[in-house]
Structure 1
């Protein structure tokens, strides 16, 4: 069978693949990140250097579906309830970030350039948005996407994606050449609500039955086609209303997050996402016109400094005000300091509306691209500063640890007890904690603890997770999630994983997790305290044992109901209620006692 005479597409495909294979692994080996490798590969093969590919805009238009699929996968990981739990970060921190960064960049441009206030405002708001594709890929590479830091950063990105609609409305309103056919601002708003409402309804009532029908056929390729239809269809619906395709895919993903087919859909989409996202970064690198940078290096440097400096400062301060520590605040700032892909859309609209000259638009586009290229380096620099801070405290990283059969993450009071029991059996343990103060204190007592974030795959690999048999999470809070655990299990299938759960909610979240044991951190100690209280009230030992057994049975039954429904109020009738108890709420044959029967016992337990 003969192949058509035009082999340009095949040749370009070979160029893209060869450049990626040659350059990306090198950057990964140098620990500079795969994203920067894709950007540099695109610069090299693009029209401004070797000229092996001459039409980066066409590639970029196609590769934007990588961003669409990325947002779809993120949506799959955020169930509607979890999304509601993030409303504080999305609408509070996210809105503050967009507005304050936009106004701060506008002020900086008015002070340092001769732009009109209309042009400065549009540019400032456009540059306030960051690159979701770039940032999320970096978070994925570092294993941080499901950490509290990663969740907060993604929440801000979601608000930025929502902000593109009002931003386009502002750009249209300030345009000096409004076209008669241009839609009114309120028209765009109601269309947005219509499109989002249609996606929500389709996801709620159509998608799950559709996938159930496809699954019944037992045909794998049809399931893949259905997943792609879900992504492309949601993107097309939003694009037809002039809205963000990525936002539409994200909403579709959220609607599918509670579906039993979520994991299979994610597995089918992931290969396409990875390929198209890499192509997207290469296309961004190809658009970087080095001649513009060389002709106006001072202006571009000024724009890059304003962009990165203002956004980093504002975002870091905001993150601190919203409860992050200074380290995470700095990381949040550096992750979100770059310009984003939506800036290209807004700059084009501003140029069409005569708010911005073509040359200025090109300079800002170059500044955005440079900021994206610098982001992996800046993040690596901040990470190294954090490591240097650890070095200043005379702490070592897990690379200095000898491989042990067990890795314990979080060496606080809980972790110390677990380590004592393992040590009593002679089982060597590699101890990891991310608090230099705790590591120092442990060292004074002769215990070697290594500095690192044990939820990160690279840290676990360095600590010897590929050879270990046990991975024990004793860190406090809710740092471990289903998604993080799934990534750990995929990467290190040989490990048995034990997790300290923060509370009942955390247990419910981890119920589908593939781990050996989930332990509620205060449950057993609370039961012991309850036994001590009953003993102090002079309840006999046999009755105390019966009460404990009854309580444990009811608690297990209630937890099973909560897990099955996801509702904390499930099984409420199994609890004993508030004091005083109704007559029928006792423990059957176990008698209740009156207040007068309680005798104070001042002994400590």
Structure 2
């Protein structure tokens, strides 16, 4: 019995609760097409110290299904935010960030200054001391990076505007905390410390840029050559942790280092694989962060102060939505974009809690005041997904347009070529010759590096694992073309793609007629047997050489190809399945 009690620990108990919550929340909420964000927050509310944890002493068995050490989760929650900023960097590039500079330093700075100033004025007017009002105004002006970027798509106008403001807020976090320290009654050397930190931070960032630019491609190339997903994952986590620790060591936020690490990897051909392989860790760590938000809500305190809490929450959301929307309109955004972005950015942030803690430590606000605004912040974070839905609906209503259909979105996508050997390269050449956008993916690091040097759009990734193809945009692709010479892998991948995207054209390379029949059964739209195609090409060459005009030859070759395809499908038991002729395939590909 002693041995079993030694094996049990609060840490293991908390880990089981978190993993159990993830196993329940994610599939259940996904089944009803509701973001898991709300589910994790509700789980935190239920199993935290103000939920079932309140009754552990009366019912000891509750310790097995509650969080016994809430403070122990903080490091995992912070790691989730770090991985989120890392993934944001992977979606960006230095070119794209430079193109966004007007939004980041123009819109972002205006949004923070105007919103923070308006809140400071209102709080000072209702009796809060000015330095405390300034601390609260800046804290509440911040918006949630963790939730907003989880909800929105950064390739849309709304996503780009939100990303720009959030990036500036993350950059401004360190100066804000130093400012609060300088305003403290017992402050000493605030401005000097800030300048020193900024100089050291600039040096560290420059060092990361130089080392990353020349070292990361070599590091990931070596990891890719091993064909070991574990080593690739280890290299990815090593990069983000080292970069975060480097910026944290000089007083900057670790999320700055994570963002830079993502930007550097985004410049390499391995960014899609890194994004895909770190996705589960980011999701779980973000789940922990959301659980900690739920645990901070004390429903008894909320019930006792329901009117002021609801008033404060609604007031902050309304003020931030109005200010952000107005600034976007002044900068030329459409009314619908301004409306949706304003509502999306209207709730407080996880970094609001950090600033509130710093303001309390600097004695600018009282602990009771901080607790009140922490509850308001937690409630605001909880309703953020609902605000996103409301903003999307109101934005469309303001513009008077409907959302694009899935077919319309897919029509604008690019083709995804799986495999970049001899056949994949030829397919890419033909797509490029006819002006069709594409991206190729291969798990051979040397093939990928050579292709990128020659100007091809090719990324490193293992298409058979996880959601690597989704990360490359397969969910919105015009078609997926499988060119690898691995029959079993091709069948499995066709089956997986057809299950995920039943309307997606899937064109697959087959070895022979029997393999083509298997691919059709797996869900391929079109299977091209190499043996039959070589026979048709040989027949075409013979007929042209014998003097038959090219037009009739090509027509007869197409007829024979369709006839052979019908025979293959009949032999595979798919006689009733609608055929996709060469002409209709051409139409779907544009």
TM-score range with shorter-chain normalisation? 0.5 to 0.7
Match of 1:170 among 173, 176, 179: 179
Structure 1 33/217 Cα, relative in aligned 2: closer, same or farther at 3 Å? Answer: closer
Q: Which residue of 1 aligns with 2:565?
A: none
Matched, 1:214 2:227: no
Query: SS of the residue aligned with 1:47?
Result: coil
Q: Which residue of 2 aligns with 1:55?
A: 69
Structure 1 299/202 Cα, relative in aligned 2: closer, same or farther at 3 Å? Answer: farther
Structure 1 96/45 Cα, relative in aligned 2: closer, same or farther at 3 Å? Answer: same
Q: Which runs of 5+ in 1 are unaligned?
A: 400-406, 415-481, 498-515, 517-605
Q: Which residue of 2 aligns with 1:441?
A: none
Matched, 1:345 2:359: no
Query: SS of the residue aligned with 1:176?
Result: coil
CA distance in 2, matches of 1:121, 1:174: 10
Matched, 1:35 2:37: yes
Where do residues 206-245 of structure 1 align in structure 2 (5 Å cutoff)?
Answer: 206-245=215-254
Q: 1:59-113, CA deviations, whole angstroms, 9 ceiling, x for partnerless residues?
A: 13322211111111110111111111111111111111111111011111112x3
CA distance in 2, matches of 1:209, 1:203: 10
Structure 1 327/41 Cα, relative in aligned 2: closer, same or farther at 3 Å? Answer: same
Query: SS of the residue aligned with 1:184?
Result: helix
Aligned-pair distance for 1:175?
0.8
Could you tell me whether the CA contact under 8 Å between 1:20 and 1:41 is conserved in 2?
no
Q: Which residue of 1 aligns with 2:157?
A: 148
The TM-score, its normalising length taken from structure 1, stands at: 0.64
Could you tell me whether the CA contact under 8 Å between 2:44 and 2:291 is conserved in 1?
yes
Structure 1 387/93 Cα, relative in aligned 2: closer, same or farther at 3 Å? Answer: closer
Could you tell me whether the CA contact under 8 Å between 2:336 and 2:398 is conserved in 1?
no
Matched, 1:278 2:273: no
The TM-score, its normalising length taken from structure 2, stands at: 0.65
Match of 1:315 among 324, 341, 344: 324
Match of 2:128 among 105, 115, 129: 115
Q: Which runs of 5+ in 2 are unaligned?
A: 54-65, 413-469, 478-496, 507-524, 526-590
Where do residues 250-399 of structure 1 align in structure 2 (5 Å cutoff)?
Answer: 250-385=259-394
Q: Which residue of 1 aligns with 2:17?
A: 15
Aligned-pair distance for 1:31?
4.3
Structure 1 314/175 Cα, relative in aligned 2: closer, same or farther at 3 Å? Answer: same
Structure 1 84/114 Cα, relative in aligned 2: closer, same or farther at 3 Å? Answer: same
Could you tell me whether the CA contact under 8 Å between 2:325 and 2:342 is conserved in 1?
yes
Aligned-pair distance for 1:311?
0.8
CA distance in 2, matches of 1:218, 1:326: 49
Match of 1:488 among 476, 484, 487: 476
Could you tell me whether the CA contact under 8 Å between 2:182 and 2:191 is conserved in 1?
no
Q: 1:111-141, CA deviations, whole angstroms, 9 ceiling, x for partnerless residues?
A: 2x321111111111111111100111112xx
Structure 1 167/225 Cα, relative in aligned 2: closer, same or farther at 3 Å? Answer: same
Query: SS of the residue aligned with 1:376?
Result: helix
Structure 1 185/371 Cα, relative in aligned 2: closer, same or farther at 3 Å? Answer: same
Count of residues in Structure 1 that have an aligned counterpart in Structure 2: 417
Q: Which residue of 2 aligns with 1:536?
A: none
Q: 1:368-404, CA deviations, whole angstroms, 9 ceiling, x for partnerless residues?
A: 11111111112222334456679x99x89969xxxxx
Aligned-pair distance for 1:285?
1.0
Query: SS of the residue aligned with 2:473?
Result: helix
Structure 1 163/313 Cα, relative in aligned 2: closer, same or farther at 3 Å? Answer: same
Q: Which structure: greater helix fraction?
A: 2
CA distance in 2, matches of 1:10, 1:347: 31
CA distance in 2, matches of 1:486, 1:253: 22
CA distance in 2, matches of 1:256, 1:66: 19
Q: Which residue of 1 aligns with 2:145?
A: 132
Could you tell me whether the CA contact under 8 Å between 1:90 and 1:159 is conserved in 2?
yes
CA distance in 2, matches of 1:324, 1:180: 42
Aligned-pair distance for 1:26?
4.1
Matched, 1:203 2:203: no
CA distance in 1, matches of 2:305, 2:68: 23
Q: 1:35-82, CA deviations, whole angstroms, 9 ceiling, x for partnerless residues?
A: 111111111111111111133232133222111111111101111111
Q: Which residue of 2 aligns with 1:582?
A: none
CA distance in 1, matches of 2:74, 2:475: 30
Aligned-pair distance for 1:272?
0.8
Query: SS of the residue aligned with 2:301?
Result: helix
Structure 1 80/122 Cα, relative in aligned 2: closer, same or farther at 3 Å? Answer: same
Could you tell me whether the CA contact under 8 Å between 1:19 and 1:45 is conserved in 2?
no
CA distance in 2, matches of 1:255, 1:68: 15
CA distance in 1, matches of 2:11, 2:194: 40
Aligned-pair distance for 1:267?
1.9
